[in-house]
Amino acid sequence: MRMRIAVTDDAASIAAIYAPYVRETAITFEIEPPSAQDFARRIDTCLSTHPWLVAVSGQRIAGYACAGRFSWRAAYDWSAEISVYLDRDFHRQGIGRRLYRALIGLLREQGYHSLYAGVTLPNEASAGLHRAIGMAEVGVYREAGFKDDRWHDVGWFGMTISDSASPSAVPLTFPELRTQRPELIARLNG
């Protein structure tokens, strides 16, 4: 198993991983599975500011993890939302934790301070994964989404990844990090 930065050519595989979560579960609140073209746009947009990683087994993408803005208000600039999805054939193999560890390492290097993740409840597997990477439950949005003819709560998990001193600057964009610290990307892709 190796990890690397996602590219738009991964979009069809990522769409195939994500589609069953949309069609068969309330884990995501999307109603229609996004197309490969939709994911290609999402990957491009994400990589302009945040990392998007894939785990690869042989020639097959086993899962992905990505980050994005937590909120558009300026005071949240040091916070990011993270997410991970795995192909069902690769559950319970530690891949989600490995993807998250690599993603968090990159976000730390970019200068982020706090990370958050939303988990549709109940979902003990996802809640357990987020606890295993060091996140703590920070709250629950009650009846936040309506899917499959019922209301669903969303549990929010959070963690800090840097000290609490005042930051010297806003986080680097992911392209800036790639330019300034190419050895990080080489190590990840290695």
Q: Could you tell me the CATH number of the domain that includes residue 161?
A: 3.40.630.30
Cα separation, 30 vs 35, in Å, equals 12
Q: Is 143 exposed, middle or buried (0-12, 13-18, 19+ CB in 10 A)?
A: exposed
Give Cα separations from 69 to 13, 24, 76 (angstroms). Answer: 24, 27, 8
* Total domains present in the chain: 1
Q: What is the full per-residue pLDDT of the chain (190 aa) written as tens digits?
A: 899 999 999 999 999 999 999 999 999 999 999 999 999 999 999 999 999 999 999 999 999 999 999 999 999 999 999 999 999 999 989 999 999 999 999 999 999 999 999 999 999 999 999 999 999 999 999 999 999 999 999 999 999 999 877 787 899 999 999 999 999 888 886 5
| Token reading at 157 | 């998990």
Cα separation, 38 vs 40, in Å, equals 5
Query: 């490995």: which residue's tokens?
Result: 98
Q: In what order do the strands lie in the sheet with 114-121?
A: 2-5, 52-57, 60-69, 79-86, 114-121, 150-160, 136-147
Structural domain range at position 65: 2-189
